Amino acid sequence: MNPPEGFLLVDKPPGPTSHDIVDRVRRVVRLRQVGHAGTLDPFASGLLILGIGKATKQLSHLVGLGKTYEAMFVLGGRSTTDDRMGAITFSDAPLPSPAQIEEAMEVFRGDILQIPPTYSAIKIGGKKMYKAARAGKPLEAPPRPATVYAFDLAGELEQMTQDGHALLRFPVLIRCSSGTYVRALARDLGERLGTGGYVAELRRTEIGPFQVQEALNLETLASGWEGRLKPVDEILKRVSVS
């Protein structure tokens, strides 16, 4: 019997790392040769594309595809990790109006430069930034180019209180190039508004032409993966790779 070969679309829940998902799939398909086409932060959920068997050699065709995210931003505080998992420092600055947020968001549409979050997997001088930060020796990466195709409010603003501090919480929709940090968008939007900002929730809904609705969840992975394994030719055709 030939080993399995193809692509598997998985809907990652919040909590496990992308590598945790890879390890789980390795155990289910009983094959070591499994890789992914781009990570998600542990607190985030959504679409992961995994290559299985010889399909791992084709993952490079998928890594650079654009991404779509649904996120929940919070203004009124700063996080050491630029998300809800870090230590939060409240700013107590006046919270902006919807019109002020919309005006500030416009600055981050199109071609931009981003400084990656201190807690990211980028290597500086051979050291991963998140490991250096955990060791109390944070590193700063130089700005990196990114393209934000859409950055829009996606619902109502909700004012809330945490530990006696006023915060503003609201959903956003983001379509962006590969390599864009949503956490950096939240951080930089908050800095522009003078309040600080971070990501409370993050879900990746699309990678190129692939949607999370096509993906298999972990509850049905063990019993359903074989019927959901997509042939290499089918996937490459969808991304116009000959």
Contact assessment for residue 114 and residue 143, using Cβ atoms and an 8 Å cutoff: yes
CB 187 within 8 A of CB 82: yes
Burial profile 159-168: b = 16 or more Cβ within 10 angstroms, e = fewer: eeeeeeebbb
Q: Helices then strands (H, E): number in the chain? A: 7, 15
Residue 56 has which token pair?
């791992």
> Cα–Cα distance between 73 and 168 in angstroms, integer?
8
Q: How far apart are CA 193 and CA 198, in angstroms?
A: 12
CA angle (43, 235, 145) in 5-degree steps: 55
For the record, the structure tokens of 9 come out as: 């679309």
**Do the Cβ atoms of 56 and 33 come closer than 8 Å?**
yes
Give catalytic residue positions: 41
d(Cα 37, Cα 32) in Å, to the nearest integer?
16
Q: What region, left, alpha or beta, does residue 136 occupy, with left being phi > 0 and alpha being psi -120 to 50 degrees?
A: left
